[in-house]
Amino acid sequence: MFALMADVVICFSFNMQPKCGFLPPSKYISEENHMKKSISRFRMHQALKLHRKEVSEISHYDPLDMFSGIKNRIYKAMRALFSTPQNNFRIFLNGSIIFGGSGGGTNATNSKTAELLEDALGCFIRAEEGKRTEALLQLVTETLHEASVLDKLLEVQKLDAFDIEGAIHAYYNVVSEPCKVCQHVSKDQPHELHTIPFHESLEIARNYLIAATAKDCSLIISFRRKGDSNSASLNEQEFDHKAFFIDLDMKSLDRMKHYYELDQEIVSNYNKVMRGDTEGDPKKRLQSNGHA
């Protein structure tokens, strides 16, 4: 079927969710949540999703590799997305999905799925059978390494300078409600962020929500055989490519309470996994995927 498309303009598109590409340095992260400064949010969230049975296995992907700026680490991230795509990685051929799924529980890539993709690439990548998928992943890796698209995204993500553990206090300042976080920890003195001017609280909350959008958006990269726009090369083949972001709707202010609650649940569950307090043995699965 794909051989019949040889004379047609072929476009392969990748839809990926890079997720948060940095470790938060905020001084407002509590001591019991210190692991947030050494383990990516995505990896900890994977443990919670496994516990909830939202995914069938832990993803091999780590956003810190994708945003590292180092070619072999970016390639490692691409291979991980390919092996465990979940709902974070999809490939389209002329607008029709040919790889990946829409549900978070999408299984790991099996041999049949890999063979179908390899066959589809025959109309696009000039390489020996069995090496086309590898060549395409290398092409995406080269493009991401040479372009500045992820660097720009990371800049926006880093507008979150306080982490949700700090930003939640600014939220309660903005909505003029008693801080439920402070009530929960029963502090005698108000948190220092409750003493800042309103405009500073508003800026902290706004920047957090902008960063949250950048952490949850999708990156589209499309390739077709070379024309006149930006080009990328692979084994003496040249391709036009275009990269852009989607899902950029601003997160609403009232989502901040949800973000705080989810953050606490993610970290609490991860602590339990590391202590071996959860059912089964998810710690072994985390360790087998390099997540410990």
What's phi and psi for 18, nearest 5 deg?
-65, -30
State the first-to-last Cα distance of the chain, in angstroms, to the nearest integer: 44
- Short-list 2, 11, 14, CA closest to 91: 14
The pair of three-digit structure tokens given for residue 212, joined into one six-digit string: 């949250």
Report, in angstroms and rounded to the nearest whole number, the Rg of the chain calculated over CA atoms. Answer: 21
DSSP state of 233: E
pTM: 0.86
163 contacts 24 by C-beta, under 8 angstroms:
yes
How do residues 164-214 score in pLDDT, each as one tens digit? 999 999 999 999 999 999 988 766 566 899 999 999 999 999 999 999 999
Q: How confident is the model at residue 239 (pLDDT cuts 50, 70, 90)?
A: confident
The pair of three-digit structure tokens given for residue 82, joined into one six-digit string: 């390919």
In the chain, what are the domain boundaries? Answer: 2-159+213-249
Give me the mean pLDDT over the 255-283 stretch. 86
Comparison of pLDDT for 11 and 75, the residue scoring more: 75
42 contacts 61 by C-beta, under 8 angstroms:
yes
> Residue with structure tokens 């055989």?
225
Report the distance separating Cα 104 and Cα 9, nearest Å. 32
Give me the mean pLDDT over the 232-242 stretch. 73
How do residues 78-87 score in pLDDT, each as one tens digit? 999 999 999 9
- Give the pLDDT confidence score for residue 25 in this predicted structure: 95
